[in-house]
Amino acid sequence: MAGNKSEKKKSKAKEAAKKPNPIKNMISYVGDVKRELKKVAWPTRSDTLASTWVVIILSIIFSLFFFLCDSVLKFMMSLAFA
pLDDT at 2: 53
Are 68 and 54 within one domain?
Answer: yes
Q: Count the domains in the chain.
A: 2
pLDDT at 3: 57
The DSSP string of the chain is -HHHHHHHHHHHHHHHHHSPPHHHHHHHHHHHHHHHHHH--PPPHHHHHHHHHHHHHHHHHHHHHHHHHHHHHHHHHHHHH-
Mean pLDDT per 10-residue section of the chain, whose length is 82 residues = 63 68 90 94 96 98 98 95 84
Enclosing domain of residue 69: 43-82
Are 50 and 23 within one domain?
Answer: no
Are 48 and 22 within one domain?
Answer: no
